[in-house]
Structure 1
Amino acid sequence: MQSNKNTAINKAAKPYAGVLTGDITGSQSFSDEDFRTILAVLEQHLSNYAMQYNGHFDIYRGDAFQLAVNQPQYCMHIALGLRLALKAHTPSVDVRISVAVGKAHFRPKEVKTGTGEAFVLSGRGLDKIKSNYLAFYSGNTELESKTQLLTRFADTHVSGLTQTQSETLLAYLQAADKSHENIAALLNKNRSNVSRILNASNYKLVAEYLDYMEQTIATQKQ
């Protein structure tokens, strides 16, 4: 599913990027200690995704973040991964994420000063999410029309997942060996229990949605 990852940023060769702008919901309701652990989980996963998909990120204003990756076809994998990781955390929390793909330029470690279509659409999109948690934007109207309704369904589904379902689904999506036996071993759970949780999470539909988004974004690059 994943291509070979380059380690160097080449803005001239790869101006097309995926930008994720997000914030932690209800951040003021947590104790200082709990919020520090939430930020640590967020930073760890942002760091992992930046390394995996050739990108960089910033965390700013305490509860907001922005990640730009030069492999935009994987941006929805990242968005759902971040949400599931934080919903699986104790205390459980959700994040709003506005995803956009398009032309973008950014400097390593200065993502929040990035420019271009993807940054504009992603930033504006977060302001428009309101009661939702996930949205996808593109300057390519055909790409948007193919994906926005599906993304709203995916958003609603993920919003309703429990902490245990989020943990199990994230483990499944990230595992190279996706057999239920392997997921059970990773989580130190009973195999039949893992199968029950995954089925209740509609894991196959989530995986199909991510595959569809990956393929559609990859084929619509401008």
Structure 2
Amino acid sequence: MIGVISGDIIKSQKIPKQQYDAMLYQLEQSLRAISNKSTLWNIYRGDAFQLQVNQGEQLIKTAILIYLHLKSAGYEVRQSMALGQIDNPRSDIKTATGSAYTLSGQGLDKITNQRFAFNITEQSIDESFSLNLIFVDTLLSKITKAQANALYVYLTQKNNNHAALAKELNTSRENVTKLLNLANYQLIERFITHAEQVIKNMIKGIA
């Protein structure tokens, strides 16, 4: 069982031509920042991308980090997450196949107003998990670039007490606390922890 994220930049067609290269550069930098040994990614069709997450329980956190990294640079992104099989593993994921890739791609085509969608092969998704994802979707869609940046740093730094984050962000501890509170950081962190356990249980249910 692996996770796959398919995503694209929202309203990229409205980005002026002279700014399009900067958008593509930022997308690549965001994917590089989030990726690690357990992920593979590819950019295609201009502003679209796919990312393979070999540790399925990290799927939600990975998608949220991608969203925050791009939002902090001024871009909105929508992402379709899927858990499933991979039938044809490839180092270049453009040619990989399997239910995880199929579900993820189909989910992106169906996204309307939300930022996140989640699907899983051979299982129904618990209604409470779906509702929580919608709530988190709504919360994240309302945060500012500065709040997104503070939340991204909070979620990725080992030492994430507010004083340490203030040095990292070159601001005051009071401002860090304000930004994180406005970003509902405790709720987002709790949801990520909850989602990891839910997905672990989903994977066990399929295995």
Q: Residue 64 of structure 1 aligns with which residue?
A: 48
Task: Give yes or no for contact 2:86–2:97 (8 Å, CA) kept in 1.
Answer: yes
1:43-82: per-residue Cα shift (whole Å, max 9, x none)?
1232343324x12111011011000121111111111111
- For residue 9 of structure 2, the aligned residue among 20, 24, 39 is 24
How far apart are residue 132 of structure 1 and its match? 1.1
Distance 2:18 2:60 in 1: 30
1:42 aligns with 2:27: yes
Distance 2:131 2:15 in 1: 33
Distance 2:183 2:33 in 1: 24
TM-score by structure 2 length? 0.92
Structure 1 gap ranges (5+): 1-15
How far apart are residue 189 of structure 1 and its match? 0.6
Q: Residue 155 of structure 1 aligns with which residue?
A: 137
How far apart are residue 31 of structure 1 and its match? 2.7
Task: Give yes or no for contact 2:34–2:65 (8 Å, CA) kept in 1.
Answer: no
Change (3 A) 1:99 1:36: same
Distance 1:140 1:160 in 2: 33
Q: Residue 207 of structure 1 aligns with which residue?
A: 189
Q: Number of matched residues?
A: 203
Runs of at least 4 residues off by over 6 Å:
none
Give the SS at the match of 1:108.
Answer: coil
Q: Tell which deviates more after alignment, 72-81 or 212-221.
A: 212-221
Structure 2 gap ranges (5+): none
The letter of the residue matching 2:129 is T
Distance 1:197 1:47 in 2: 25
Q: Residue 127 of structure 1 aligns with which residue?
A: 109
Q: Residue 91 of structure 2 aligns with which residue?
A: 108
Task: Give yes or no for contact 1:132–1:155 (8 Å, CA) kept in 2.
Answer: yes
Q: Residue 78 of structure 1 aligns with which residue?
A: 62
Distance 2:103 2:141 in 1: 23
Give the SS at the match of 1:182.
Answer: helix
Distance 2:7 2:164 in 1: 32
**Once the two structures are aligned, what percentage of the paired residues are identical?**
36
Q: Tell which deviates more after alignment, 27-36 or 100-109.
A: 27-36
How far apart are residue 143 of structure 1 and its match? 4.3
Distance 1:133 1:180 in 2: 28
- For residue 39 of structure 2, the aligned residue among 37, 55, 73 is 55
Task: Give yes or no for contact 1:19–1:67 (8 Å, CA) kept in 2.
Answer: yes
Change (3 A) 1:108 1:48: farther
1:58-111: per-residue Cα shift (whole Å, max 9, x none)?
10110110001211111111111111111111xx111110001111243012x1
Task: Give yes or no for contact 1:143–1:217 (8 Å, CA) kept in 2.
Answer: no
Distance 2:35 2:90 in 1: 13
